[in-house]
Structure 1
Amino acid sequence: MTEHKHGGDLALGGQRVHERLSREEPELVSRVLTRIQAEVADYRRLPVEELAGDIAGITRQAVRAFARSLREDRELNAAELRQIGASAVRRAEEGFPLEAVLTAYHVGAREIFSVGSAEAGHADVADLLEVADRVLAFAGTVTGAVTRGYLEELRTKVGQEHTARRTLLSVLVDGGPVDVVARSAGIALPARYLVLSVELGPHADEESPGVDAEIAVRRKLRRFLAAFERCCGDGVLASLDGPGGLVLLPLAGRLADVAEWRQLLHTAGHAAGVAVLAAADTAAPEQVREVATQTADVLDVLRWFGREPGLYRLDDVLVEYQLTRPGAARDRLAAVLGPLDAHPELVETLETYLVLDANRRRTATRLHVHPNTVDYRLRRVRDLTGVDPLHPAGLPRVIAALAARRASASRRA
């Protein structure tokens, strides 16, 4: 087993490596900067003063840190790592790619080894291998410090942006000084938002054995929102949980008509792998509170009437919306079906019958019963409530009564 050699004694070509690095530091720093610009495209886009200032400075610090660590036979110390981490924080603040920063440090490590070993001879093999090992260890340590500093700043930045957007969404929905909050957060408000109240169906993974349901839900929501962000950029505001919630899309030059709204919703649902039911309308920022309340109400109506997945506006459900508004008429409509409370099989049959466009045979197939059983149950509904779902004149009333029943149940819940 080879005995460890003190780093300060490692010599190549008759000269200690740390002394060579210190003596040739200016040329070495210049070589690193030239090679970084040649090999890492992102650095060619930096201002000249930044390359000659901050980037040259941290390169010089890194070269000196390695030379000291070699001379003192140690790893980089906490102060040296803090310098490197602080530089990474500045790159993160600028939005500079982490991949580019890491590549630059590896370029620097290769240049350090190249200069340090420039005059190595056959007799220097053992020391050459030791220096190579130390350069690799140095590169690994630096990679860790850069990554930690960069990601910590990124998490802070993302957290601040997330908080600012959540605050803005809250003010838009709950009311408050929207312009003041937007300015303080550095967010430009669009002239209008597309307000979406959405209900997301469950993803198959949420109920798959062995799959973490919470992870499946987060993945569903991430993919759903990503589709909106690809279309509308980072101005999308959302408050979503597993079953759905509210999404605000900036309209600035996008989504000019309802057909485009529907296509985008379909794309988002497809990306998430779920069916989506949504109520939509547009609003100026100061109108979002009122419109969000209305779209949430419309979404409730869509649920109560069993509408198919898709995007709807108030105009699509005007009658249904009016039928389910709170009041004495709704309460009396809901009471029409009160006698069915003790007969859940009748309620199930009635709901299925209406969903399947009053087709008794399809209803029987769906419920796995004989068509005569469906007829019997629907006649029982007539006998108990006085409303005949088998007669064309009774259908509007029973549909309205069922929707009012659902609306009343939702209010009680």
Structure 2
Amino acid sequence: MQAAGSAAAAEAEAAAANDVYDAHPHSATLKRLEQSSGSLAASAIARMDETLPWYRAMPPENRSWIGLVAQAGIAAFTEWFRHPETPQAISTDVFGTAPRELTRAITLRQTVEMVRTTIEVMESAIEEVAAPGDESVLREALLVYAREIAFATAQVYAQAAEARGAWDARLESLVVNAVLSGEADEGAVSRAAALGWNSPEHVCVVLGTAPDGDSELTVEAIRRAARHAKLQVLTGVLGSRLVVIAGGSDNPLQVAKALIGPYAAGPVVAGPVVPDLLAATRSAQAAAAGLKACLAWQDAPRPVLADDLLPERAIASDPAAREQLVEEIYRPLEEAGSALLETLSVYLEQASSLEGAARMLFVHPNTVRYRLRRVTDVTGWSPSDVRSAFTLRIALILGRLADGEQPS
């Protein structure tokens, strides 16, 4: 009884298939196409192995997946030819047979070569597969199918690129936030490496106000400017601030000028150069403190270095700026001798007058002039410049306060 039932079912399926063939306007070609699908797939794989060097160099697992994609493509064309009036989800039928990782294993160019090879094999077999008189019909159907498979290929890679882009954006945001918050560690370095960061020797952070509108467009504008300036960047919009971690240049002011275009109106501050990404937190904190203190310097250039804002940062209670002023200005002057400190103090108190300082010190004006040149050599700041004089005055005040706080 069971055998009889199985035979009846087989006969029913065969009858249904014959009905489908009989209803198709090109039933003979459809039958021959189904019968030839296996040999066509084998021929396509053999052609790829013969003409595509990258296919031969791939591991066996990936080659097997590509073979399945080729077979699925030919099977999808057969189904397309059977029901030309029904839209087919080609991307699902063809590329759904392979894992998502295949889009990472082979490039878009390689996929196009694979599809072209398969279509060429099918096109070369039209004379053998098509029933007499159906050659032009089958060729036209293959042309339409080739167009659709091309769009499906582009869609698959576009979706993969969008997914990778969204993931990369989240990863980049994590790295930028870690640097800005002082939490950068080896994990942040690893994530940056996954984004293509090649650990340049010179790194600095540039901060400013982010423009209104789409932050993705702003980030892309920064990347274009960085490519033009031959810089590596990690960037992101955090709240109202546009943060750029730039590598590849030991001149932070030049970096800021190269990247300033996408920033909104307002101050743009470049932190000092540091040796690597782990130390970029120091540059970011200096830039953030400078951005906050920039309000106190109405005539500050744009962009401006965080180190040029040391006095404003010190007044705004930035401990790093206070320590830097003491260690880089006051202590060297102190070590150079009391005469330099005394001369500088008196000169600044006398409204930058050489003669007035000379009278107060009971020395010749040339002596005062010589000592002031020595101050410039020791500190890098010129007492005759108004801005530098302000910085030196703040450094002297902080140095004396630091000395007063030390136990006697």
TM-score by length of 2: 0.57
Contact 1:8–1:73 under 8 Å retained in 2: no
Structure 2 gaps, min length 5:
1-21, 319-385, 392-408
Contact 1:58–1:84 under 8 Å retained in 2: yes
SS in 2 for 1:198: strand
Q: Which range moved further: 22-31 or 188-197?
A: 188-197
2:162 is the alignment partner of 1:152: no
Distance 1:221 1:102, change over 3 A: same
> 1:241 offset after TM fit, Å?
6.6
1:190-229 to structure 2, matched below 5 A, reads: 190=199, 194-199=203-208, 214=213, 219-228=217-226
Q: 1:64 matched to which residue of 2? A: 75
Q: 1:115 matched to which residue of 2? A: 125
Contact 2:181–2:281 under 8 Å retained in 1: yes
> 1:191 offset after TM fit, Å?
8.0
Distance 1:240 1:68, change over 3 A: closer
Q: 2:100 matched to which residue of 1? A: 89
Tell me the distance in 2 between the aligned counterparts of 1:275 and 1:219: 19
2:301 is the alignment partner of 1:308: yes
Tell me the distance in 2 between the aligned counterparts of 1:227 and 1:58: 40
Q: 1:298 matched to which residue of 2? A: 290
1:135-284 to structure 2, matched below 5 A, reads: 135-176=142-183, 178-183=185-190, 187=194, 190=199, 194-199=203-208, 214=213, 219-228=217-226, 231-233=230-232, 236-240=233-237, 244-250=241-247, 254-255=248-249, 257-258=250-251, 261-269=252-260, 277-283=268-274
Q: 1:357 matched to which residue of 2? A: none
Q: 2:382 matched to which residue of 1? A: none
Q: 1:6 matched to which residue of 2? A: 24
2:47 is the alignment partner of 1:31: yes
SS in 1 for 2:301: coil
**Structure of higher RCO (CA pairs closer than 8 Å, 6+ residues apart):** 1
Contact 1:172–1:288 under 8 Å retained in 2: yes
Tell me the distance in 1 between the aligned counterparts of 2:267 and 2:146: 49
Distance 1:82 1:265, change over 3 A: farther
Contact 2:256–2:270 under 8 Å retained in 1: no
> 1:115 offset after TM fit, Å?
0.9
Contact 2:126–2:139 under 8 Å retained in 1: no
Structure 1 gaps, min length 5:
203-212, 327-394, 401-413
Distance 1:169 1:275, change over 3 A: closer
Tell me the distance in 2 between the aligned counterparts of 1:33 and 1:67: 24
Tell me the distance in 1 between the aligned counterparts of 2:38 and 2:210: 65
Number of paired residues?
A: 297
**1:94-136 deviations in Å (ceiling 9; x for gaps):** 3x43244235324422321221235879x62xx2332123213
1:92 partner letter: T
1:71-82 to structure 2, matched below 5 A, reads: 81-82=92-93
**1:119-173 deviations in Å (ceiling 9; x for gaps):** 879x62xx23321232133223333433333333332222223222222322332
1:29 partner letter: I
Once superposed, what is the RMSD of the aligned Cα atoms? Answer: 4.5
> 1:312 offset after TM fit, Å?
1.6
2:127 partner letter: S
TM-score by length of 1: 0.56
Q: 2:6 matched to which residue of 1? A: none
SS in 2 for 1:214: coil
1:16 partner letter: R
